């Protein structure tokens, strides 16, 4: 007898007529994301390769592996190329009722989050991201750890606007029962 049943028992929907998420033209990520992604991935692997090359030659280890550790360059180049391809493929879009985010090169993943299911939104940026003027938008939904979507590759003003837009959407269709309200009061709350 809940509302949901009323909403659902009276609809017969032709799946073919529903809007298809695949038809949406996705926005590419901002240009500054490419150097950032390459720098983080390349930087990580540069450290790994350097350690692999230098560590055996340190006096207190004194292993002579020759140039074999240079083989580490193979995964380093591989992952850097993957990152480059990934950035070119990454995309996002806002529809009237949901947020679409696509990522991945080998395993290609598209995530669609309805605004009505977002519980809260936050923006985040690390030091390196700030250097490039980038910002992430994180959306949280119910359903555990897997349920947090992080939209990467937006610049700061864009991220702020997206966040603002999402917050407005959330507020619009919030119902009284689910309005954000702390259930857990701070320790010093009692009178």
DSSP state of 96: S
Q: Residue 64, interface with another protein (CB under 8 A)?
A: no
Concatenated DSSP letters of 19-38: PPGGGSPPEEPPTTHHHHHH
Minimum distance from CB of 144 to another protein (Å)? 4
Phi-psi region for residue 74, left (φ > 0), alpha (ψ -120 to 50) or beta? alpha
Minimum distance from CB of 149 to another protein (Å)? 7
Q: Residue 25, interface with another protein (CB under 8 A)?
A: no
Do residues 84 and 38 lie in contact, with contact meaning Cβ atoms separated by under 8 Å?
yes
Site string for another protein, 86-125 (x = CB under 8 A): -----------xx-----x-xxxxxxxxxxxx-x------
Number of residues that bind another protein (CB under 8 A): 54
Residues in the chain: 191
Do residues 102 and 90 lie in contact, with contact meaning Cβ atoms separated by under 8 Å?
yes
Minimum distance from CB of 19 to another protein (Å)? 7
Going 36 to 40 to 43 to 45, the CA torsion angle's sign is negative
Query: Which phi and psi (to 5°) does residue 137 adopt?
Result: -115, 125
Q: Residue 181, interface with another protein (CB under 8 A)?
A: yes
Which of residues 7 and 58 has its CB atom nearest to another protein in the complex? 7
Q: Residue 18, interface with another protein (CB under 8 A)?
A: yes
Q: Residue 184, interface with another protein (CB under 8 A)?
A: yes
* Beta strands in 23-90, from DSSP E residues, in sequence order: 27-28
Q: Residue 4, interface with another protein (CB under 8 A)?
A: yes
Can you give the binding site for another protein, defined by CB under 8 A? 1-5, 7-9, 11-13, 15-16, 18-22, 97-98, 104, 106-117, 119, 141-147, 149, 173-175, 177-178, 181, 183-185, 187, 189-190
């Amino acid at each position: 007898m809940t509302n949901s049943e009323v909403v659902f028992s009276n609809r017969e929907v032709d799946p073919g007529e529903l809007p298809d998420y695949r038809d949406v033209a996705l926005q590419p990520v901002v240009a500054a994301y490419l150097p950032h992604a390459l720098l983080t991935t390349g930087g990580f692997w540069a450290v790994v390769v350097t350690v692999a090359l230098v560590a055996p030659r340190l006096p207190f280890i004194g292993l002579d592996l020759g140039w074999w550790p240079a083989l580490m360059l193979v995964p380093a180049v591989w992952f850097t190329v993957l990152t480059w391809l990934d950035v070119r493929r990454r995309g996002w879009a806002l529809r009237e009722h949901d947020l679409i985010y696509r990522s991945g090169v080998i395993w290609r993943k598209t995530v669609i989050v309805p605004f009505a299911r977002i519980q809260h939104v936050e923006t985040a940026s690390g030091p390196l991201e700030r250097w490039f003027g980038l910002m992430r938008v994180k959306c949280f939904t119910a359903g555990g750890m897997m349920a947090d979507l992080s939209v990467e590759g937006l610049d700061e003003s864009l991220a702020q606007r997206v966040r603002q837009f999402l917050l407005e959407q959330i507020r619009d269709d919030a119902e009284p029962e689910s309005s954000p309200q702390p259930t857990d009061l701070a320790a010093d709350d009692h009178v």
